[in-house]
């Protein structure tokens, strides 16, 4: 396994360097069960999201309700707590914290990830619908993990999560369905991740470092338990939660595409560049990965180690 991980890391380093490393003078889907939206499916996507380039990555309450009994759709509750007290009928529970190998500041190994989702009953052709409390933070983390490990364009997030479901007065269940072991096969995509060594070699003419932590973490006022406070040199700051607003029912949902795009464009987060989001442990960074995917950004590679690694390493520098 160590040999496999080393090969993945080496390949990732080569690819990221090619995408946004030293360049000298040069300037730089259709999955089953509706995972990729077809024109006739657009009405199934929330009206609040139908202007996103990748609107099919969001589901609304009606879509989930209509597909709840589809054998090729798996609803996954990724809340940290509350599943036993009530959840969307048919949903299986999966704590998003299981995806992090905290000791090594990275996502769990390919074998461990595969085991987690096979045990959840996920098959290679399964369309997965994720939901959390409502702000899509935990959903974003699992969404990123699934895309990184090869299930790209087969994952949806319920916009507004469990809050949207209950606000619509839909039925809830306290029964935990039995899940037959699935045949999901995980395969890491080195184009969707960035390492510390790669960060050091980024050509910022071709890449954008996007710090999605709070402004106080960015300036170093809030150390968050790290040895060093501040941010990676040349990183711009856009807190992850700025992508979320409350709708008329008080449910946290993604802002409209034009508002999100304008905010990112004002920061210089260019669609033609490689974007590297980071936070403390790539939970908030993964949420921004989802946001940028919704907007149609083609090359987003979160820094998985994030500031838990960078802010505590002896060979890194920070600025305030």
- Domain for residue 277, yes or no? yes
pTM: 0.87
Q: Which two tokens stand for residue 190?
A: 């080195």
Average model confidence (pLDDT) across the chain: 88
Question: What is the domain count for the chain?
Answer: 2
CATH number at residue 81: 3.40.250.10
Cα gap 294→297, rounded to integer Å = 8
Cα gap 294→136, rounded to integer Å = 13
How much is the pLDDT for 19?
56
Inter-residue contact 75 to 90 (CB < 8 Å) = yes
pLDDT band at 40 (very low <50, low <70, confident <90, very high): very low
How much is the pLDDT for 292?
98
Q: Judge if 161 and 221 occupy the same domain.
A: no
Beta bridge partners of 73: 127
How much is the pLDDT for 12?
43
Q: What is the pLDDT of residues 102-152, one digit of tens each?
A: 899 999 999 999 999 999 999 999 999 999 999 999 999 999 999 999 999
Q: What is the pLDDT of residues 62-78, one digit of tens each?
A: 999 999 999 999 999 99
- Domain for residue 6, yes or no? no
What is the chain's Cα-based Rg? Answer: 19
Q: Judge if 62 and 160 occupy the same domain.
A: yes
Q: What is the pLDDT of residues 140-186, one digit of tens each?
A: 999 999 999 999 999 999 999 999 999 999 999 999 999 899 999 99
Q: Judge if 219 and 152 occupy the same domain.
A: no
How much is the pLDDT for 39?
34
pLDDT over 50 at 28, yes or no: no
Q: Judge if 64 and 135 occupy the same domain.
A: yes
Task: Provide the domain limits for residue 85.
Answer: 32-167
The domain boundary residue, chosen from 167, 201, 220? 167
Q: Judge if 122 and 230 occupy the same domain.
A: no
Q: What is the pLDDT of residues 195-215, one digit of tens each?
A: 999 999 999 899 999 999 999
pLDDT over 90 at 320, yes or no: yes
pLDDT band at 42 (very low <50, low <70, confident <90, very high): very low
Cα gap 298→217, rounded to integer Å = 28
Q: Judge if 243 and 149 occupy the same domain.
A: no
Q: Judge if 163 and 196 occupy the same domain.
A: no
């Amino acid at each position: 396994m160590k040999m496999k991980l080393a090969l993945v890391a080496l390949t990732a380093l080569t690819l990221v360097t090619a995408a946004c490393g030293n360049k000298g003078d040069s300037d730089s889907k259709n999955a089953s069960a509706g995972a990729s939206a077809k024109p006739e499916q657009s009405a199934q996507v929330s009206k609040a999201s139908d202007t996103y380039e990748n609107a099919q990555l969001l589901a609304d309450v009606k879509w989930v309700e209509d597909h709840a009994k589809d054998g090729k759709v798996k609803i996954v509750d990724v809340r940290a707590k509350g599943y036993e007290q009530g959840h969307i009928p048919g949903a299986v529970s999966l704590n998003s914290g299981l995806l992090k190998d905290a000791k090594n500041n990275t996502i769990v190994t390919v074998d461990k990830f595969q085991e987690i989702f096979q045990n959840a009953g996920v098959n290679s052709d399964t369309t997965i619908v994720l939901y959390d409390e409502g702000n899509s933070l935990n959903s974003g983390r699992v969404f990123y993990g699934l895309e990184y490990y090869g299930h790209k364009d087969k994952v949806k997030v319920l916009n507004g999560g469990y809050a949207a479901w209950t606000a619509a007065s839909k039925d809830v269940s306290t029964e935990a369905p039995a899940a037959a072991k699935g045949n999901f096969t995980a395969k890491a995509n080195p184009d969707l991740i960035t390492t510390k060594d790669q960060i050091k070699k980024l050509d910022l003419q071709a890449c954008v470092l996007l710090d999605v932590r709070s402004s106080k973490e960015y300036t170093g006022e809030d150390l968050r338990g790290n040895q060093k406070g501040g941010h990676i040199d040349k990183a711009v700051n856009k807190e992850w939660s700025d992508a979320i607003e409350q709708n008329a029912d008080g449910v946290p949902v993604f802002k409209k595409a034009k508002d999100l795009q304008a905010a990112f464009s004002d920061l210089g987060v260019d669609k033609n560049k490689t974007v590297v989001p980071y936070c403390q442990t790539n939970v908030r960074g993964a949420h921004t990965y989802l946001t940028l995917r919704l907007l149609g950004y083609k090359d987003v590679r979160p820094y998985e180690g994030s500031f838990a690694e960078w802010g505590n390493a002896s060979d890194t520098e920070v600025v305030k």
